[in-house]
Structure 1
Amino acid sequence: MRNKTATKKFYLDDLNFTEIADYGDYLLLRKDDIEIHFFEFKELDPKTNYGQVYIRTNNIDEWYQTLLEKKVLIHPNAPLQVKPWGQKEFSLLDPDHNLLTFGQSL
């Protein structure tokens, strides 16, 4: 994360995560059984960031609709769709362009 305030706002307000701990340059967040750890990296260039996380869920349609209602930007190349590998998925980018893909098995 480049900016802890922006990261917290996005994950807490937009994605409904909760804060586990904040150790200054290290941040721990949770949603359900998912826990994500962030470390401060002020020099990170979002345009070259290739960080990505795949999060499995059992309520993909409801979660997608919730994000649309909150006006969270879905990645333009990754709206909710069924994939050939048997998953229903969508993706979005966090403030530092970490790719978050949410998927549910069919």
Structure 2
Amino acid sequence: MLKDIHPKLPMRNKTVTRDYYINKLGFKEFGNEDYDGYLMVQKDNIQIHFFEFKELNPKENYGQVYVRTDDIDTLYQSFLKKQLSIHPSGHLQVKPWGQKEFAMLDPDNNLLTFGQSI
């Protein structure tokens, strides 16, 4: 029955979040309308939604998304080429649970982990 999931993460500033996901990570805005305080982005088959939370303290934000990919090496290299910041403890590595992963933080401290089964 279940077929998709679209995580909702907090954002303090829609313009900053939109810029990061679209201009840096390569997502596109999803939908035909611009909703006040809400943003939807999509890349390939992945959709992420954001809700406005202006009072969010990034140091207290524990928002996380795990995104599976079928070409982790190319994705990682493309982000490095764009000089995007990789999480200090999240550089590309093989994990004991059989995933090759890397992680990064968005402007609101939402953790984005990208992984591929090996």
TM-score, normalised to structure 1, is 0.98
Superposition pairs of residues 28-43 of structure 1, within 5 angstroms: 28-43=40-55
The answer for the alignment partner of 2:20 in structure 1 is: 10
Percent identical across equivalent pairs? Answer: 64
Which contiguous aligned blocks of 4+ residues in structure 1 show a shift greater than 2 angstroms? none
> Cα RMSD over matched residues?
0.6
What CA distance in whole angstroms lies between the structure 1 residues aligned with 2:115 and 2:86?
A: 14
CA apart distance, 1:24: 1.3
- Pick the aligned partner of 1:51 from 53, 59, 63: 63
What CA distance in whole angstroms lies between the structure 2 residues aligned with 1:99 and 1:60?
A: 17
Local SS of the residue matching 1:47 = helix
- Pick the aligned partner of 1:89 from 81, 101, 117: 101
Q: In the comparison of the two structures, how many residue pairs are matched? A: 106
Extract unaligned runs of 5+ from structure 1: none
Extract unaligned runs of 5+ from structure 2: 1-10
Encode CA deviations 1:41-93: one digit per residue, 9 max, x unaligned: 00000001000000000010000000000000000111000000000000000
